[in-house]
Amino acid sequence: MTLTALTDQPVHSRGQSFWRAVELAGCYLLGALWVLPLFYAVWMAFHAAEYEVRFDLFAPLTLGNFVDAWNAAPFARYFLNTFVLITVILASQFVICTLAAYAFARYEFRGKTIVFMLVLLQLMIMPEVLLVENYRTMVKLGVIDTVLAMGLPYMASAFGIFLLRQAFLTVPKELDDAARVEGAGPLGILLKVYVPLSRPIYVAYGLVSVSYHWNNLLWPLVVTNSVSTRPLTVGLQVFASPDQGVQWSIISAAALMTSAPLLIGFLLFQRQFVQSFMRAGIK
Amino acid sequence: MTGAKNQITAWLLLLPAVVLLAAFTHVPAVMTFINSFYSTPRGTRPAKFKGVDQYANMLADPVFLAALKNNAIYAIGTVPAAIGLSLLMALIVNSSIRGKSLLRMSFFLPTVLPMIAVANIWLFFYTPGYGLIDRVLAPFGFAETNWLGDPSTALGSLMVLAVWKEAGFFMIFYLAALQQISPSLSEAASLEGASRWYFFRRVTFPLLMPTTLFVLINAIINSFRLIDHVIVLTRGGPDNASTLLLYYIYQTGFRFWDTGYAAALTMVLLALLAALAFIQFGVLDRKVHYK
């Protein structure tokens, strides 16, 4: 079998190299096709409206669309709102999920398995699925149209608890015991031993969480109704509604602008992004 | 660690997470169930017990049936396409092809962008006559198409966007799994003269099975959970041709303010997700070993 494989090769080599070339072309075509929509958006955003469907390599570049978009809606405020929202969510997630993950990783208590299953349920039933009932809760709490309303349902995340628990389980028990002997309490051990050893997981979870909440639309759309709380996604949705009759080039500029921080971050730290998503995905 | 003191410590550590999860997942799920048996309170008129009336109405509601059918088509159409493409992408990026980091970037980029932003860009692509798609097709003799305004193409247009947006995300999981496969396997196979297709079919694909199942479940959940593009592109139209279940819940709850009916609709979605959860935790996890 080995022999035929070896002797077969030269005979087929011309045909093989042809198909290899076709295959390579297919791969690059797929890559080009995938990035095309984004390139097109960049083209529209940086050219005057008359070049929306006219291609001219020497068409004059302009930042006018960005200026127009920026002036047409309170994007500065939206950026601030998104920034505050993400900071609040991420900080709470880190604290709340770390505590819970530690309990699941290192403590034995009654009902542990059932509680863990109940936590994992949130992986399936995400807060936006229950938006009608959650909206009612926010009305009762009197927090409609606040950062708190947008953030509360996401602060305890099953995904985060699960991810950190897996990380904590790999921490050697001896380190835990040693810290205990030195008189450290549960919180001290957590902060001195577990958190520092799980730093890559925090980075991974942080990146995944930031890109999720930067992009989240439905729940913020439901619980906000004013410029002073709306995040970027909702702001863009209000700005680009078809009945507003805004030019495509300006919409493209606004769309790129709202994605810019994530986009630039991704282009600069591509490896970290991809690795983070990988780390978060392997269970 | 056991003992009463440790029990207390454990519960104190869990407290914030348990309270928040219960408040925004478990309690609302139960409340949705209860509310689905009541009419919607209007003004001073309180909610009245209606038994299974809401569910009976649902079966006679053509929009609900359309949403359910559309969602089934949407899932059956997008899930296998996204999984197939993501696997292909991962194989490409994991090979020795030149420029693979550029390819990886190109595949992954849509994942990082907000759906609302890309949907607005695609809204332009789908513009009849003027948009990119019609411009590209025109030289080949295609007539102007109202992609989003025609009931026969509206849902398909949403599906194409969804596949484009999601495939790169799932690629990451396959890529991670492919990197766990020992290179000595492919060396041995090529020494034995196995074709690449044979090797993929008999070795790579079976080894990727746990990943495929994981991605499958997540892709199905996403097909019920993500409606940002529906809001931007079609708003469920024309004539409910592209409405999805969650979009209809959103409309019922926040456009028509019929919260009782929205609760019953949510129960259908919860039942579907519960069935998925059962399949994942009950059936698949027993057969597939995660690390």
Same domain, A82 and A221: yes
pLDDT, residue A2, reads: 38
Instruction: Give strand pairing partners of B49.
Output: B38
Lowest mean pLDDT among A194-208, A231-245, B17-31, B158-172: A231-245
**A24 → closest Cβ in B97, B225, B266:** B97
Q: Please, what are the domains in chain B? A: 55-287 (1.10.3720.10)
Same domain, A31 and A143: no
pLDDT, residue A243, reads: 63
Cβ distance A162 to A116 under 8 Å? no
Residue-number span of the structural domain to which A90 is assigned: 67-281
Residue A181 within a domain: yes
How far does A109 lie from chain B, in Å, by closest CA? 5
pLDDT, residue A3, reads: 38
Q: Which residues of A touch B6 (CB under 8 A)?
A: 107-109
pLDDT, residue A242, reads: 64
Same domain, A25 and A101: no
How far does B252 lie from chain A, in Å, by closest CA? 9
Rounded mean pLDDT, B107-124? 89
Instruction: Give strand pairing partners of A47.
Output: A61
pLDDT, residue B185, reads: 84
Q: A270 and B130 in contact by Cβ < 8 A?
A: no
* DSSP 8-state symbol, B138: G
Q: A215 and B224 in contact by Cβ < 8 A?
A: no
Query: Quick check: A130 pLDDT over 50?
Result: yes
Mean pLDDT of chain A, nearest integer: 85
Residue A198 within a domain: yes
- B172: nearest Cα among A64, A277, A262, A35: A277
Say which residue, B278 or B37, is predicted with more confidence: B37
Cα(A42)–Cα(A56) distance, rounded to whole angstroms? 14
Q: Which residues of B touch A131 (CB under 8 A)?
A: 249-250, 253
- B216: nearest Cα among B114, B81, B116: B81
Same domain, A217 and A112: yes
Between positions 103 and 132 of A, the ones with CB within 8 A of B are: 103-104, 106-110, 112, 115, 117-122, 124-132
Cα(A257)–Cα(B113) distance, rounded to whole angstroms? 11
Amino acid sitting at position B84: G
Same domain, A150 and A223: yes
* DSSP 8-state symbol, B273: H
Same domain, A28 and A133: no
Same domain, A102 and A20: no
Residue A6 within a domain: no
pLDDT band at A87 (very low <50, low <70, confident <90, very high): very high
Q: Is A232 on the interface with B (CB under 8 A)?
A: yes
The 3-class secondary structure across chain A, one letter per residue, is: CHHHHHHHHHHHHHHHHHHHHHHHHHHHHHHHHHHHHHHHHHHHHCECHHHCCCCCCCCCECCHHHHHHHHHCCHHHHHHHHHHHHHHHHHHHHHHHHHHHHHHHHCCCCCHHHHHHHHHHHHHCCHHHHHHHHHHHHHHHCCCCCHHHHHHHHHCCHHHHHHHHHHHHCCCHHHHHHHHHCCCCHHHHHHHHHHHHCHHHHHHHHHHHHHHHHHCCHHHHHHCCCCCCCCHHHHHHHHHCHHHCCCHHHHHHHHHHHHHHHHHHHHHCHHHHHHHHHHHHCC
Same domain, A138 and A202: yes
Residue A7 within a domain: no
**A34 → closest Cβ in B107, B114, B250:** B107
Same domain, A232 and A134: yes
How far does B51 lie from chain A, in Å, by closest CA? 19
* pLDDT tens column, B60-99: 999 999 999 999 999 999 999 999 999 999 999 888 888 8
Cα(A129)–Cα(B122) distance, rounded to whole angstroms? 25
Same domain, A25 and A148: no
pLDDT, residue B25, reads: 93
In angstroms, how far is CA B22 from the centroid of its own chain? Answer: 24
- Helical pair A199-215 and A270-281, crossing angle rounded to 10 deg: 100
Between positions 38 and 57 of A, the ones with CB within 8 A of B are: 38, 40-41, 44, 52-53
Residue A58 within a domain: no
CATH at residue A191:
1.10.3720.10
Cα(A209)–Cα(B262) distance, rounded to whole angstroms? 29
Rounded mean pLDDT, A54-74? 81
pLDDT, residue A29, reads: 92
* Token representation of residue B226: 């993500």
List the beta strands (DSSP E) in chain B.
Answer: none
Mutation target for A interface from B113, B173, B215, B254: give the one with most A CBs within 10 A. Answer: B113
Lowest mean pLDDT among A222-226, A242-246, B142-146: A242-246
Cβ distance A28 to B92 under 8 Å? no
pLDDT, residue A280, reads: 72
pLDDT band at B247 (very low <50, low <70, confident <90, very high): very high
Residue A277 within a domain: yes
Q: Which residues of A touch B107 (CB under 8 A)?
A: 30-31, 34
Residue A111 within a domain: yes
Q: How many CB atoms lie within 10 A of CB A276?
A: 21
Same domain, A82 and A32: no
Q: Is A72 on the interface with B (CB under 8 A)?
A: no
* DSSP 8-state symbol, B144: P
Counting the structural domains of chain A, the total is 2
ipTM above 0.90 for this complex: no
Same domain, A20 and A97: no
Query: Quick check: B282 pLDDT over 50?
Result: yes
- A135: nearest Cα among A209, A231, A221: A221
Residue A56 within a domain: no
Cα(A269)–Cα(A277) distance, rounded to whole angstroms? 12
How far does A96 lie from chain B, in Å, by closest CA? 6
* pLDDT tens column, A133-168: 999 999 999 999 999 999 999 999 998 999 899 889
